[in-house]
Structure 1
Amino acid sequence: MTIRKQNKHSLNLKKTLLASLIAMNVTSVSAQSEQEQLTEDDQIEVIEVSGLRDSYKNAISTKRAAVTIVDSISLEDMGALPDNSVAETLERITGVAADRFKGGASEISIRGLGPFLGMSTLNGRAISSGSGNRSVAFSQFPSELVNGVKVYKSQSANLLEGGVSGVIDLGTIKPVDYGKENFQAEVKGTYDEYQSKLEDDNGFGNKISFSYTNTYDVGDGQLGFAIGYAGGESPRPEETYLTSSTLRNCNSDYGLDGGSSCSFNDSNAAANGGDAIDGDYYFISNAFTYRQMESVEDDDAVIAAVQWKPTDKLDINFDAQWSESSYFEDRHDLSFDDARRRVSNWQTNDDHILTSYTGESRIANMNEMRTRDEEYKGAGFNVKWQVTDDLELAFDAAYSGTNRWQDRTYTRFRSKRKFYDWQQRNSQQFPNVTNVYTDFDDAAGSSINWQSDVNDLAFFDDDSEARKYRFEIDDRIRSTKLDAKYLLDAGMFTFLSSGFAYSSRSHQNYGEDQVSKATAKDDRAGVLASAASCLEPWPQSGYGEDGDSPVSQWAYLDTSCAYSTLVGSDVLSPDPKAPSEADIDLTEEITSFYVMSDFESELGGMYVRGNVGVRYVHTNIESKGVTQSYTVQTNENGFIELDGNNSVEINHFENSFSNVLPSLNVILELREDTELRFAAFKAISRPDMWFYGAGREVSDITYDDGYTTPEQALDDGNVSARGNPNLELIKSNNYELGLNWYWEDETMLSASYYYKTFSARFGADTSDEQIIVDGTSYDTTVQGVPTIYDDESSIQGVEFTAVHRFKTLPEPFDGLGLSLSYNYSDSDYITPEAGGSITEDARAEVTPANLAGLSEHVANTQVYWEGEAASIRLSYKYRSDYLKPFGNDLSQTNRFVDDQKTVDLSLGYKLTEQLTAKFEVLNLTNEPAVQQRVAQGAYNQIEYSGSKVFFGIKYKM
C-alpha cells in the first residue's frame, strides 16, 4: 500500500479543506482544543462571511474540515450572527432543540438528550451557572458579541469531558487573526404585543450594541484588541393558566361519600365495593390559577479580547466577559386554592384525567413581586509557543463566576368558600369555570356573578397573609490547562498531542428562606379596609382573549403597598445564608490527562484521516451540609420528643472516582466530494450540583408518635436526604456512522446514524448513615437519597441535513437558498411516575415517561433569499413533546411539554455600504407554551406570551 505523505497531500489543501491536519508551519501545530484548530482552518481557506448565505457556507466548511463530528454556525465578524440570541442560533443546528421560555429559546438539548447530559463552554472553557444545575444562561452572551457556535457530537481526547449528548462551544473573536479594523453599532427596538396591552405601556423596548476591533504592528509582531457592548430592556409579559405542583389521585365524590378533601379509599362509592384501584378515579391538583403578569429584563454585557503576537512563534491571548441581568416579575393571580375540597359530579377520560367536576374552594387574590439580579464574570489567558518546528506548547488559565440573588414579596387575600363547576377544554384554551354558587343543592338558585364579584376587594374577606422569600447562589470555576503537540515522522501518525487540565468548582446554593405573617382573625376586617388604598385600575386590556379565559380581570393590588399594609410595623427578613438543610456547599475538583494521535493513510486507494486517543479524568467531591441540632426530652410515660435548638450539626462528605475515556474518529474520503465518518467514544456527564447536597432533615418527633428511643424514631423513615455527595457520573458508550456529500461550497447533504448506551436513571433510594442527636451518633437509614441506577438504557437515532443555494438560477432567484434538518431519536429509557402524593398502585398504571428532554422528532426548516441589498428568512421549528422535570425534586409527577411549533421571520435591507436595516418577528403565530402531567389532557400550564418584534439599524465601518 502506498501511503500518501503529508507534504504530498498538502498540495490538495484548498480542495479538501484539511489544513489543520497537514500544514507543517507554525499555525498548524496547535496544542489547543479542536475549536482552535478549526479557527486556523478558516484562516487558510479565506471566506469573507457577513450574512445569512455565508453563515451556511462557513458551517459547511467547518463541518468538512473537522476531524470530530461537529456542526456549527460561525462568522468572521464579532456580532454578525444573523439571530436575535445565541440560543436561536443553536436551534438552527441539526438535532439541537430549545425549551421555549417566555417566548424565547432557553435550555438546549442535543439529539433528544436533555440539558443535563450536555456541556457548554466558552472558548473551550467550562461556564459557571446561576442555577442549581449545569445549564448555561446563553442570554449572558449576547449574539451581538459572539461570532460563532459549535456543537461537538463526538468526543476526542483533547476536548473537555462532560457531554454524553455533546459539547456546545461559544467562540469570541481573536483580533490579530481577524486582521483588520472594524467598528459596528446597532440600535434595535423591540415590540411586544402583550406588553402593549398594558395601559401605561406602548409595548416598546430597546437594545443597543457596538464593537470595535483593530490590530497594530508592534516591533516585529502584532497587537490587536476587540471590545464590544450589548444591552437593553426586554419586556416579557405572560397570560397563563396553571396548577399547583402537587398532584394526587382520588376516587371520592362529596355528593355520595361526604367528607372534605378528596380521598382514595376502597370504601368510596367509585370503588364499587372492590379495591379502589379497580374502580374509576381521577387526578387532581391542590389549586388552579389564572395569572396576569408583567415582566421586564434589563441586560448589559461586555466582551473584550487582546491578542499579541510578538514573534511568529508566540501567540498570547486574553479575553474577558462581564454581564449583568436585572429581572422582575409582577404577578397577579386569581386562584382556586382548595381545588381538592368536596369534589363531586366528576367526569374523566380513559386516562383518569378530569374533564369536568364540581368543587368547593376559597378564591384567592394573590400578588407577587419577584426581582432577580445575576452577574457573570469570566476571563481567560492563553499562551501558545512554537518551541521548535516540531513542538508547540500551550498554557491556558481561566475564571468563570456567577452570582444570582432573588427576592420575592408575596401577599394573599382569600374569600369564603364557594362551590364551583370546572370544565376542561383543549390545549389552546384555559379551563372554564362555568358557575360559582353558595348552596351545593341549589346551584342555579345560589349562583353568584363571580366574574364581577372578584373585582371587589371586599369579596376576599376570609383571611390574608404576607410572605417574604430570598435565595442566593454563587458558582465559581477556576481552571488551568497545559497542552503539547508534537509533529511526528512515524508513518501514518502525523501528530502526537498530550495535556493536563485542572479545574476547581466552588458552588454555594443557599436554599430559599421564607418568613410569613398571617393576619390575626380579629384584625382581618381592618387590614382589608386598609388594603383598599392599595387598589389600582386593572392594568391591561384583553386579558385572556387568546386563551379564552373565563375571567378577564379581578381586584388589582399594588403588591408593595399591600405587603406593607399586611406586615405593619413588623419586618420580615429572610436570611438565605442562615444554615438550612437545603443548602448546597460543594467543591468539585477535576484533574485530567490525555494523549491523542492524529493519523492519515490510504485504505483501498481512498484517503483516510482521523484521531485516536484516551482521556483520564479524576474527580474529587467535597460536600458540606447541616442537620438541625436536637435535644432529647422524655416524658413520664417513657416516650421521647426531639426539641430543635438554635444550633446545627455539620455533615461533611468526601468522594473521589476516576473515568477513562477512549475515543476514535475516522474519516474516509470515498470521493473528492463524499466522505464516510465513524466515531466511537466513551463520554461522561456530571449530575447537577443540587443533587450533591449533604443536608439531612429529621421529621418532627413528638411524644404522640410513641417512640421510646432516638434510634427507634430516626430509623422509622424520619430522616430524609437533601442530596447525595456519593453520586458518580453518568457514563455512556457512543457510536456514530455518517455520510456527507459536498457540492462546491454552498451545498451539503448529510445523514448520520448514532447509537448510545448509558446508565442515567435517577431515583430516590435509601442509604445507611450516621445522624447526631443530642451529642450522640446513631446509625440510621436515610430516605430519599438521589441515586443513579445501574439500569442500562440506549438511544438511537438518525439525523439528516440539507443545505443548498440555488445559484444556478437566473437573477434574482440565484439568491434563494434553504436549510433543512431533521432528527429522530428513540430510546428505551424509562422514567416511572414518581409523584409522592399519588398512591403506589395508581403510579403503576401511569405510562412511564422517557428521558428528560427527549423529543422523538426535531425539525428545522429555513428558506432564505439574499441579494446584494436585501435578505429574507422564514424559519419553521418543530419539537415533539418531551419530559421536563421539576428541578431536583424526585418526588414530583412527570411533567410534559407539549409539541412546540414556532414560525419566525427575519428581514434585512442594506441601505448603504455601511447601514443595514433589520426586522425580525419571533413566534409569528403566537403559539402557546403548554405543559401536561401524567397523561394527555391534564394541563398544568397553558401560557401565552405573544409575538416579539425586533427592528433596528446596524452600522458597519
Structure 2
Amino acid sequence: MGQHVRHHQPLRRNLVAASIATILGCVSQLSVAASGDETQLEVIEVRGINASKKQDLNNKRFHDGVMDSITAEDIGKLPDVTIADTLQRIPGVQIRRSAGEGSTINVRGMPQVTTLLNGEQFLSAGAITQVQPDFTDIPAALISGINVLKSPAASTLAGGISGTLDLKTRKPFDLTEGYTFSLNAEGTRGSLSQENDPKIAAFAGYQKDDFGIIVTAAYDSNTLANYRNGTILNSTEVISENSRDFRDINQDGDLNDSFYSQRFYGIMDRETERDRLGLSTTVQYRFSDALLFTGDLFYTDMDDADRKQGVMVDNARGPNWAYSDQFIPRLANDSGGQIYTANNMNLKVRRVSAYSESLTNDRQSTNLSLMLEFAGDGAWSGTARYLHGSAERGHTENVAHGYLTSGAQHGLLKNNGDGPTPVNPNGYGPDPVDVSFSRGGDYIQLGFAPGFGSDINKYNLVSTYSENNFEEEATLDVLRFDGKYDFALQHLQNAEFGVRVGKRDVERETYILVAPFTSGNFSADVMWKDSGASLGDTNGDGKNSVADGDLTIGQPHYFADLPEGWVQQVNGLGPGGDDLQFYLINPKVMDDPFAFQNALYPGNKKLANPERTYQVKEQTQTAYMQFNFAGTIAGLDYNANLGAQYVRTELDMLQNQLGSSRPCSLCTASEKTGEKWLDRSYSDFLPTANFNLNLTDELILRASAGKTMTNLDIGKLAGGISVGRTRAGDVLAAELGVSPDLLVAVQGTQNGNPDLEPWRANNYNLALEWYFSQSGLLSITAFKMDIESFIERGTVMLGLPDIDGVVRREVPVATEVNGEGGKIDGFELTYQQAFDFLPAPFDGLGMALNFTYAPSDSANVDVYGDTLPIQDNSEKSANAVLWYEKDALQLRLAANYRSDRLDSLSSALGKGVVPFWTASTLYYDLYAGYEFAKDSSVYLSVSNLTEEKEDIYAQWSDNVITQNIFERRVTLGVRTRF
C-alpha cells in the first residue's frame, strides 16, 4: 500500500570498515623544491592556503616541462570535495560531473588523460577498461598532491594525449621524527536531498632512524540529489504534417511542414547514494645510505546506488501529439516547408508512466607498489619497482514501468484468455491525457489536471526488466627498472633510461535476467515481463496479434496490491515539479534485481549477453632514454631534456560470434554461435623535447614538443559480432555457388573493433612565466594538438560466416572506426598573487585567476553544415579564487566557468546531425575555517553555492531537452593533529 515517503535512507557500510576509519589520522609533509642542479632552494611546511600556493608555484617553476601542481593545504585537505573538483582549478582542465561531484576530467579538451599514482599506472574499479579513473572512487583525503603534466617527457609513462595526471601520496620520511596523528570529521547536508552525511578521515604516522610507516583511512556516506528533467531516454523525432495525423501544425494552409520533438518528456526525482572507503599504507626502510625500500598499498571500496523515480509521458506513436501557438521555424525540410520547434505546448498524451529505476555498483580495487631505490656515491643511481593491481566491479540495472493510462490510447492490450482488454483497465482513458509542457523558465515543467495521479488505484505495474548487468574484473602487473648516470660535462648533466614490462587482463560478463513463461503453445525465457506482450501466435491463426486474440504473458500488479513499502507517494519531484504528486515504486526495493524480479515473476536466472561479453589481455613493453641538459647560453641559464620512448603493445582479444536468433523471447541478448581469439600488435616511437630558458631570475621561457599516444578503452576493442542473414535467392546463389535457400550473411553489427588504432597526437607548447614574487605568477602558455583520428561509429567490410559456417564474402559491418582527426589550438592565461605587501589586515588577501581558450574542429557538422567542435570540449573556461588567511582565520571563494560544450550527436537532420549541447555553467564554492586551538580548527564549506544546473539543448539554445539538477552541499567539520 502507499506510504507518504520523501527521502531514502543512505547506504551503510559494515561497522568494521567504519571503525577502521575512526582510529587513524593525517599529517602534513615537509616539501623541498630543488633546481636543476638539485641544490636546496626552499623548505615549506604545507599548512594553510598561502603555504600550499607557494608550494604549487615552486613545483611549477622548477619542473623541466609545462606543468601545474596542487598541494594539499593540510593532511587530508585538498582544496575541494573531490579530486576532480580540485583539478578544475588548474588552467586547461575541465571536469564532468556525476551527481554533482567531479568524476572525470579533460585536459585541453581531451579526456584521453592518463592518471598515475606515484608515477606509475594503477587500476580504478570505476573505470577498469580506461586509462583515466573515475575520481568518485578515490577519497581525496588519501592524496597529498597532484601534478598535471602538460608537456610530454620520455621519462614519464606514455598514455596522455593532452596531459598526464600524477597523484601523490605521503611518504613516512617526509614526516617529522616520532609519531604524528591527525583526525578530520565532518557532516554534510544537501539542499535537496535533506540528508545528513558523515565523513571521517584519519592518519597515523611514525618515522625514526631508518624506518617509517604511514596509515591513512577515509570513510564517507553521501546521499546526493541528482534530479533530471526533460528527455528521460534521450530520444527525438521529426513529425511530418503529412505523415502523422495530417494536421496543419502552424496553420499556414499546407501540410509540408515538420515538428522536431522530444520522444519522451518527464520529471525525475533522482538521488545517488555512495558509501566510500579508502585505505592507504606506506612503509619505508633505509637499508643503508645508498639503498631505500618503499612499499605502498592503496585500497578503495565504493558501493553506490543511482535511484530514479518520476513521471514520464510520450506519444506512443499516436496522432495529435502537440498543439501550440508558438511554433518556431528553424530550417527548411525536404518537402519545401519548414521544421519547427515549440517551447510551450499542450500535449495529447497516449501514455503516462510512473517510472522507477535502480542502478547499483559494487567496486573494489587494490594497488600494491614495491620499490628499491639505489643512490651511491658514484655516478650511477636507479630504481627497481614491481606493481600489482586488482579491481572488480558488479553493476545491476532494474526497471519498473507503471501505467496511469489504460493502454487503450495506443492499443496496448492484454489477454489472459478472456479476450483482449487494456493492460491497465483501472487507468485513465480511453481518451489521451492533456498535459502542458514548458521549457521557457528556469526549469522544464509538466502540468496535469488537478488531482491527476492522486488515486493509487489507477496504477498498474505493466512492465519490468533487468538488463545491462555486468561483472568485470582486471589485474595489472608491472616490472620496471630505471637508471640514471651523471656526467661531469659542461652541458650534459645526466642521462635517464629504463625498461618496463606491463600486463593487464580484463574480463567482463554481461547478462540479463530472464524468467520462464508459458503462453498457449509457447514456452520461453523472457526478459521484458510485459503484460501487453505475446510470445507468438498462441491462437494459431497466423496473425500473431494480441488484438486478434493471442495470449499475453504478464499479469496485472496493481500498486494498491503490492507488498508493504514497495509504493510511496512522492510529494514534489524536485525543482520544476514541486506541485506534482504521484505514487511510485520505491527504487530502493529494486536494488536487488533478483529479489525484486522473483517477487513478481518467479524463477529468474542469469542469461549471458555475449555481444557485450569479452576478455582482453594487454601486454606492453616500454623502453626510454632521456638526456638532461643544463648550463648557460649567451649568459642565460637554461635546462632542457631530449629523449624518446618506445612502446610496443600486444593484444589478445576474445571475439564472440552471434547468430541472428535469440536465446530468449522479448529480450536484448543474442545467441552465441562461436568464439575466436584475435591477436594484434602495434608499436609507437614517441620523441620528446623540453627547453627552459631563464630570461631573468624571475622570467622563464619554456618550449616543448612531443608525440603522444593513449591506448584505447578496452571496452571498444572486444565484444560480440552479430550476423544478419537472409535467403540467398537465385542470383546470389549462382554467384556464390550455393543453394538459393541457404541463409547467407548480408550485414553485421560489431560491439568492439579489434582493429582500432590508439589515439595519437603531436603536442606543442610555448610558455612565458613571470614569477614576480615568492607567491606571484603571471604566465601565458600557447598550445597546439594535432590529433590523428577520433573514434566514431562507421562501417567496415568483414568476412562473416553463412549459416553453414563458411565465409564466402565480405559484408558491411557497423562498428567503431578510426574517423578523421582534428586539432585543438589555444592558450592559457594565469595570474596568482598573495597581497602580503598590503597593510594589515588586508595583507592576508590573495587571488588566483586563469583563463583557457581552446577552440577545436572535428569532421562533424550540424544541421546548417557548420563545423562542430570536439565532443565535451569547452572553447572557453576560467577559474577565479579569492582567499583570505590571517592568524586563525581562513576564507576562500572559488568560481569555475565552462562555455557551451558538445554533449553528443543525435540523428541526421538538414546538412548534418543534430548536436546536443550542454549550456555554459558557472559554479561557486565557499570555504571558511577558524583555528580555535593550536593544530585544531573548525570549518564550513559550501559547494555549488548557487545550485547551478546543466541545461542540455538540441541545436538551438532555447530548445532545452534535458536538465541535470544538482544541489547545494553544506559541510561542517573539525580537524585536529597531534
Same fold (TM over 0.5): yes
Equivalent position to 2:708, from 683, 686, 703: 683
Aligned AA (2:528): S
Q: Deviations over 1:834-887 (max 9, x none)?
A: xxxxxxxxxx54645311221111111000000120100001110112123489
Match of 2:279 in 1: 302
Pair 1:314-2:312 in alignment: no
Match of 1:757 in 2: 786
Equivalent position to 2:231, from 225, 239, 243: 243
Q: What TM-score comes out, normalization by structure 1 length?
A: 0.83
Q: CA offset at residue 190 of structure 1?
A: 0.7
Q: CA offset at residue 674 of structure 1?
A: 0.7
CA distance in 2 between counterparts of 1:627 and 1:528 reads: 42
Match of 1:479 in 2: 478
The SS at the match of 1:62 is helix
Equivalent position to 1:227, from 211, 215, 220: 215
Match of 1:32 in 2: none
Match of 2:749 in 1: 720
Pair 1:871-2:890 in alignment: yes
Equivalent position to 2:920, from 881, 899, 915: 899
The SS at the match of 1:109 is strand
| Greater CA drift, 593-602 or 877-886 | 877-886
Aligned AA (1:326): D
User: Does the C-alpha gap of structure 1 residues 858 and 574 become closer, same or farther in structure 2, counting only changes over 3 Å?
Assistant: farther
Aligned AA (1:600): A
CA distance in 1 between counterparts of 2:554 and 2:386 reads: 60
User: Does the C-alpha gap of structure 1 residues 425 and 911 become closer, same or farther in structure 2, counting only changes over 3 Å?
Assistant: same
The SS at the match of 2:807 is strand
Equivalent position to 1:426, from 440, 448, 451: 440
User: Does the C-alpha gap of structure 1 residues 457 and 714 become closer, same or farther in structure 2, counting only changes over 3 Å?
Assistant: farther
The SS at the match of 1:814 is helix
Q: CA offset at residue 951 of structure 1?
A: 1.0
Equivalent position to 1:127, from 122, 127, 133: 122
Q: Deviations over 1:420-445 (max 9, x none)?
A: 35434237211434x6xxxxxxxxxx
Equivalent position to 1:211, from 184, 187, 203: 203
| 5+ long unaligned stretches in structure 2 | 1-31, 332-339, 410-431, 514-526, 533-550, 663-668
CA RMSD after TM alignment: 3.3
Aligned AA (2:37): I
Pair 1:650-2:627 in alignment: no
CA distance in 1 between counterparts of 2:140 and 2:805 reads: 56
CA distance in 1 between counterparts of 2:913 and 2:891 reads: 45
Match of 1:775 in 2: 805
User: Does the C-alpha gap of structure 1 residues 573 and 706 become closer, same or farther in structure 2, counting only changes over 3 Å?
Assistant: farther
CA contact (8 A) 1:140 1:376 kept: no
Pair 1:21-2:40 in alignment: no
Equivalence map 1:345-494=2 (5 Å): 345=323, 347-350=327-330, 352-357=340-345, 358-414=347-403, 415-416=405-406, 417=409, 418-426=432-440, 428-433=442-447, 449=449, 452-461=451-460, 463-467=462-466, 470-494=469-493
CA distance in 2 between counterparts of 1:282 and 1:909 reads: 58
CA distance in 2 between counterparts of 1:792 and 1:293 reads: 37
The SS at the match of 1:144 is helix
Aligned AA (1:318): G
CA distance in 2 between counterparts of 1:617 and 1:120 reads: 17
Match of 2:839 in 1: 810
CA distance in 1 between counterparts of 2:739 and 2:497 reads: 56
The SS at the match of 1:600 is strand
Equivalent position to 2:620, from 580, 586, 590: 590
User: Does the C-alpha gap of structure 1 residues 713 and 750 become closer, same or farther in structure 2, counting only changes over 3 Å?
Assistant: farther
Q: CA offset at residue 568 of structure 1?
A: 4.8
CA contact (8 A) 1:150 1:170 kept: yes
CA distance in 2 between counterparts of 1:869 and 1:895 reads: 48
User: Does the C-alpha gap of structure 1 residues 622 and 147 become closer, same or farther in structure 2, counting only changes over 3 Å?
Assistant: same
CA distance in 2 between counterparts of 1:602 and 1:686 reads: 39
Aligned length: 858
Equivalence map 1:597-746=2 (5 Å): 597-629=627-659, 647-699=672-724, 717-746=746-775
User: Does the C-alpha gap of structure 1 residues 420 and 597 become closer, same or farther in structure 2, counting only changes over 3 Å?
Assistant: same
CA distance in 2 between counterparts of 1:186 and 1:645 reads: 51
Equivalence map 1:851-870=2 (5 Å): 851-870=870-889
User: Does the C-alpha gap of structure 1 residues 565 and 770 become closer, same or farther in structure 2, counting only changes over 3 Å?
Assistant: closer
CA contact (8 A) 2:344 2:439 kept: no
The SS at the match of 1:483 is strand
Match of 2:962 in 1: 941
Q: CA offset at residue 483 of structure 1?
A: 0.7
Q: Deviations over 1:358-378 (max 9, x none)?
A: 443211112223322111111
CA distance in 1 between counterparts of 2:396 and 2:597 reads: 18
The SS at the match of 1:63 is helix
Q: CA offset at residue 388 of structure 1?
A: 4.8
The SS at the match of 1:911 is strand
Pair 1:513-2:502 in alignment: no
CA contact (8 A) 1:78 1:172 kept: no
Pair 1:329-2:331 in alignment: no
| Greater CA drift, 705-714 or 587-596 | 705-714
Match of 2:54 in 1: 57
Q: Deviations over 1:586-610 (max 9, x none)?
A: 2221111111100012222111111
The SS at the match of 1:125 is coil
User: Does the C-alpha gap of structure 1 residues 474 and 427 become closer, same or farther in structure 2, counting only changes over 3 Å?
Assistant: farther
Q: CA offset at residue 942 of structure 1?
A: 1.0
CA contact (8 A) 1:224 1:306 kept: yes
Q: CA offset at residue 905 of structure 1?
A: 0.3
Equivalence map 1:146-157=2 (5 Å): 146-157=143-154
Q: CA offset at residue 561 of structure 1?
A: 6.5
Q: CA offset at residue 60 of structure 1?
A: 0.4
Pair 1:575-2:590 in alignment: no
CA distance in 2 between counterparts of 1:272 and 1:135 reads: 54
Q: Deviations over 1:99-148 (max 9, x none)?
A: 132122121111222x1x21111111223243454431223322212100
CA contact (8 A) 2:172 2:207 kept: yes
Equivalent position to 2:167, from 167, 170, 180: 170
User: Does the C-alpha gap of structure 1 residues 194 and 421 become closer, same or farther in structure 2, counting only changes over 3 Å?
Assistant: closer
User: Does the C-alpha gap of structure 1 residues 714 and 494 become closer, same or farther in structure 2, counting only changes over 3 Å?
Assistant: farther
CA distance in 2 between counterparts of 1:886 and 1:319 reads: 43
Equivalence map 1:520-599=2 (5 Å): 527-528=557-558, 531-534=561-564, 542-544=572-574, 546-547=575-576, 549=577, 551-559=579-587, 568=599, 570-571=601-602, 573=604, 575=606, 578=608, 580-599=610-629
Q: Deviations over 1:625-667 (max 9, x none)?
A: 21225799xxxxxxxxxxx996531032211111111111011
| Greater CA drift, 325-334 or 63-72 | 325-334
Aligned AA (1:783): V
CA distance in 2 between counterparts of 1:420 and 1:550 reads: 19
CA distance in 2 between counterparts of 1:724 and 1:454 reads: 47
The SS at the match of 2:811 is strand
Aligned AA (2:36): L
| 5+ long unaligned stretches in structure 1 | 1-16, 29-40, 197-202, 263-267, 436-448, 633-643, 834-843
Structure number with higher helix proportion: 1
CA distance in 1 between counterparts of 2:33 and 2:556 reads: 79
The SS at the match of 1:73 is strand
CA contact (8 A) 2:91 2:829 kept: yes
CA distance in 2 between counterparts of 1:700 and 1:528 reads: 42
User: Does the C-alpha gap of structure 1 residues 227 and 289 become closer, same or farther in structure 2, counting only changes over 3 Å?
Assistant: same
CA distance in 1 between counterparts of 2:889 and 2:742 reads: 74
The SS at the match of 1:60 is helix
